[in-house]
Amino acid sequence: MSFSAAYPVYEVAKDAAGVAGNIFAFGLFVSPIPTFRRIIRNGSTEMFSGLPYIYSLMNCLICMWYGTPLISPDNLLVTTVNSIGAVFQFVYIIIFLVYAEKSKKVRMFGLLLAVIGIFVIILVGSLQVTDSQTRRILVGFLSCASLISMFASPLFIIKLVIQTKSVEFMPFYLSLSTFLMSTSFLVYGLLNEDPFIYVPNGIGTVLGIIQLVLYFYFESKSREESREPLIVSYA
């Protein structure tokens, strides 16, 4: 196969991975809806953490900026997915703020203001860098760091699952969508030769696998325990 013939196939594969990442990301963005239905129904955030949505908002804003032509002209699919994601995360944070207890509410509101402030500083500061390659590297490192922090945020949930031996507070579809999206953008980043995309998404893929393994392990244990007789006869 000639290079000219292989190149379009390479581009199609890269775009396909990016589109798949967008589709799976949409699944990730809507997966918390059952959680927020429960929060609204019960009028309380219970033991749910708002941190994943704060991290996700920060990540979406920075990665959206990284994907724009002003920073990296060949990552439009990164901009589209993160623009939609930022809207979803903002809505979730507002709902969380409405139903959280006072201490959580104050903390979440402070974190939301911090996220907006940091993003404005990054946006304005990066535009002051005149060299396009330096600007891309600068914003790329920031987007990579934000992605890693977003993927690391479920570590709190993983710890809670291990402590409680229950997957109640780790929705299955959220973990599955995280894994599928990370894997898709891992492939996209590799094909696009962009370490600022494939490195953090590689970490996200590993963490997604850990969450799925924990889910199936503790879910199967819960099913086994539910089959045990409620009354034990010693006759």
Are residues 118 and 145 in contact, defined by beta-carbon separation less than 8 angstroms? no
19: nearest Cα among 78, 69, 85, 70:
78
Confidence of residue 223 (pLDDT cuts 50, 70, 90): low
User: What is the per-residue pLDDT for 120?
Assistant: 96
pLDDT for the residue numbered 153: 66
Q: Which residue has the tokens 């939609």?
A: 84
* Mean pLDDT of all residues in 66-92: 92
Taking phi over 0 as left and psi of -120 to 50 as alpha, with beta for the rest, 175 belongs to alpha
Is residue 232 predicted with pLDDT exceeding 50?
A: no
Tokens of 112: 């939301």
State the pTM of this model: 0.78
Asked if residue 74 has pLDDT above 90, the reply is no
Span 144-178, pLDDT tens digits: 988 887 777 667 777 777 877 777 767 777 788 88
Token pair in block for residue 1:
């196969």
Amino acid in position 78: V
Place of tokens 């509101």: 109
d(CA 120, CA 173): 32
Task: Give the per-residue pLDDT at 221.
Answer: 65
Q: What percent of the chain has pLDDT over 90?
A: 45
Torsion of CA 196, 199, 204, 209, to 10 degrees: 160
Tens-digit pLDDT profile for residues 127-144: 999 999 999 999 999 999
Indicate the pLDDT class of residue 224, thresholds 50, 70 and 90: low
Q: How far apart are CA 200 and CA 223, in angstroms?
A: 34
DSSP state of 128: T
Using CA atoms of 62, 170, 94, 64 in order, give the dihedral in degrees to the nearest 10: 20
Decide if pLDDT at 233 tops 60. no
Q: Which two tokens stand for residue 34?
A: 């059952």
More confident residue, 233 or 216: 216
More confident residue, 34 or 10: 34
pLDDT greater than 90 at residue 49: no
Question: Rounded to an integer, what distance in angstroms lies between the CA atom of residue 220 and that of residue 206?
Answer: 21
Where are the chain's structural domains? 3-226
Judged against a pLDDT cut of 80, whether residue 229 lies above it is answered with: no
Confidence label for 230 from pLDDT (cuts 50, 70 and 90): very low
